[in-house]
Structure 1
Amino acid sequence: MSICVTVEMFMFHVYILFTLVFISVCGNKTILQYFGSLDDYQVNATETSESKYPWIARVIHSRSSYVPHMCTAACIDEAIFVTAARCIYNLKVNYTRILYNSKFYDALAFVVPSVPTKQSYDDIGFIVVRSKNSKKWPVIKPFNGANRTDKAFDWFKKLEHASMKYKIVGYAMRKWLHRISVPERQYDLSELDVIVSLDICTKLLTNNGKDKIFRVPCYHSCTFQEFKKKNSKCQKYHGVEGGALIDTTSNKLVGIATWTISYSKYEVPVGFSVLNSKNFFDDFRCAKRIRNDNGLLIVKGYYQSLC
């Protein structure tokens, strides 16, 4: 490896360590930098069509316009969509709607995580919509390849990743355009083949894996070995809030993109939440109860009582 690459990687590790030190000194308010928010951009990804992914959707914070676009979502059951929980925390239900299969659906309720994780790195949110406008709901079924058996993600490392082909799909801008802060920004549906690993964030975001801070499921366009060799594959990137990570072999939704670390020098991995935790299934049941409820009296705390 050339001295230039060594210096770049050293500076990146210094950047990460500085961030962590800054967090430890400045307290809880700054700790959100630990698992940073996604900026909804892509680099060298492939534009694709909604007809290829009829279950994909956009979350829009307006009942009268196509903007502002907030994040990507996926339909996993009739009138029920999943996205990154941090996308819906600051939204208002009565302003939010889903653009899905070229139709708008008003949000009926949000289901936020019943047991949130540190800085939402593993949190999935649900959006239940009013379902009277549609008779057909193209869906993608959640991953069911393994149950969680521990909190350290050892169960994830044991998955047969070699037999699975991963792709990330979502609405993104081109890099640098995402820096322009206007509501009319253009988001196009794009996809990218990625590699999934439990160790890739640990190795790339810390000192060669010596620190286990980021030992969580992540995806990237290349392996750690390819990254060290400056393989051109590593110049590709796709990181959008609520992005759908799918296994194209089984056509199942494996995870939802939830966080990353921003670094302008080169592209880094993206963390995601796997749709198989107890909390996920509990919140999914809650979303179904809200969708199936025929009650007419809507008062404060009404939907919460259903769950």
Structure 2
Amino acid sequence: MLPVLVFTFIYFQMAAGSTDILESLNFTSNPIMRNAKTLDLTFTFFPMLSNYQANAVPVTEAQYPWIARVVHSRTADVPHMCTAVCIAEAIFITASRCIHYLKVNHTTIIYMSKRFDALAFVIPSEPTKQAFDDIGFIVVDDKSFNRLDWPAIQLFDSMNRTDEMFTWFSELVSLKYKVVGYAMKKGYERIPSQEQQFNLTELDVVVSMELCPKLIKFRIKKRTGFAVPCYHSCTLQQFEKNIDRCYNYHGVEGGAVITNVMGYNKLMGVATWGPSIKDYELPVGFAVVNSENFFKDFTCATKIRDDNGLLITKGYYQTLCNSG
């Protein structure tokens, strides 16, 4: 693979021996395994999110200091592209769809009221169908802010991903969740403009493996799959009764799905896809940050951040991510 592609994408295949990130999150005590079973997504289409909210609650960046905006300009605050989350010094994650068509040398992260130029993108080493489970990394140039305190959210590490069928996910649905991100008010997403106003908001949500296959099929009346993690503002039972809460919505690319564990917010995943219809709000699909591929990509992003420039020319990071 030629390294010239690094200015837009980084494709890589990591060596099996890279475990620094895994060890730091205590995943090695239960080695990540692959299950031979795979999802049947034959009848599934994963549409892009429209980046809006309905009845979400305004919040401040001081409440969520690890949240960030991705803009496609080195000088302006627009156009806003998606929400990003800081998970380590100078490393942010978002929905891979957000960065897929961006240019690294035009991209800025706005975080802690400061602007950071993107240094590199790391897109999934093993992409899924229509990016339903794909998380992208943005490594920023932190040389100008090397004394900055980098607020980062901890990853949810209480459950190890053991298969591609998400059977392990059923044990997590009893927790309380919120989604946080920059969104437009409902209605404005239908007006194309680079000047659209995105405000930081949050919404209490429930998560389940049943939300997408049952609720989307219920409203769209078509055979669908969607047997993947999703969140919505109400439960299946509440949705069937058409209660007011079910008209609340928050669906933005890169939106942070968080849960509180012993007083600390932890990141369960990021919003990646979701359908929309005129009169109803539908569930949003999200990628959980605990796959083997995610941690391979995290290791790659860390190597790029830590590169001192002595061996690798800026912008040519492929060999870093190929090394063990």
TM-score w.r.t. the length of structure 1 is 0.86
Offset at residue 158 of structure 1 (A): 2.5
* Secondary structure of 1:251's aligned partner: strand
1:38 aligns with 2:49: yes
CA distance in 1, matches of 2:60, 2:208: 27
Higher helix share: 1
Offset at residue 297 of structure 1 (A): 6.3
Q: Which residue of 2 aligns with 1:172?
A: 183
Q: Which residue of 2 aligns with 1:253?
A: 267
- Identity percentage over the alignment? 59
Q: Which residue of 2 aligns with 1:88?
A: 99
1:292 aligns with 2:306: yes
Offset at residue 243 of structure 1 (A): 0.2
Greater Cα shift, 219-228 or 141-150: 141-150
8 Å contact from structure 1 (residues 202, 211) kept in 2? no
Q: In structure 2, what residue type is equivalent to 1:53? A: Y
1:223 aligns with 2:235: yes
Ranked by relative contact order (alpha carbons within 8 Å, sequence separation 6 or more), the top structure is: 2
TM-score w.r.t. the length of structure 2 is 0.81
* Secondary structure of 1:110's aligned partner: strand
Match of 2:149 among 136, 160, 163: 136
Per-residue deviation, residues 162-220 of structure 1 (Å, max 9, x unmatched): 2x210000000001111111111100000000000011111111259996711100000
Q: Which residue of 2 aligns with 1:4?
A: none
Offset at residue 77 of structure 1 (A): 0.0
Q: In structure 2, what residue type is equivalent to 1:185? A: Q
CA distance in 1, matches of 2:132, 2:104: 23
CA distance in 2, matches of 1:68, 1:254: 27
CA distance in 2, matches of 1:300, 1:98: 19
CA distance in 1, matches of 2:255, 2:140: 19
Q: Which residue of 1 aligns with 2:30?
A: none
Residues 46 and 301 (structure 1 numbering): CA distance in 2 closer, same or farther, change over 3 Å? closer
Listed as ranges, the matches of 1:77-156 within 5 Å are 77-134=88-145, 135-156=148-169
CA distance in 1, matches of 2:140, 2:310: 16
Match of 1:205 among 216, 239, 250: 216
* Secondary structure of 1:116's aligned partner: coil
Q: In structure 1, what residue type is equivalent to 2:239? A: F
Q: In structure 2, what residue type is equivalent to 1:213? A: G
CA distance in 2, matches of 1:213, 1:136: 43
8 Å contact from structure 2 (residues 70, 109) kept in 1? yes
* Secondary structure of 1:286's aligned partner: helix
Root-mean-square deviation (CA), in Å? 2.1
CA distance in 1, matches of 2:207, 2:50: 20
CA distance in 1, matches of 2:164, 2:72: 34
1:282 aligns with 2:293: no
CA distance in 2, matches of 1:45, 1:301: 39
Residues 281 and 193 (structure 1 numbering): CA distance in 2 closer, same or farther, change over 3 Å? same
8 Å contact from structure 1 (residues 254, 274) kept in 2? yes
Per-residue deviation, residues 128-173 of structure 1 (Å, max 9, x unmatched): 00112332100001111211111110010133x32x2100000000
Greater Cα shift, 167-176 or 128-137: 128-137
- Unpaired runs of 5+ in structure 2? 1-41
Per-residue deviation, residues 220-249 of structure 1 (Å, max 9, x unmatched): 000111011011110100000000000023
CA distance in 2, matches of 1:210, 1:107: 41
CA distance in 1, matches of 2:144, 2:158: 33
- Unpaired runs of 5+ in structure 1? 1-23, 25-30
Q: In structure 1, what residue type is equivalent to 2:99? A: I
Residues 203 and 244 (structure 1 numbering): CA distance in 2 closer, same or farther, change over 3 Å? same
Q: In structure 2, what residue type is equivalent to 1:221? A: S
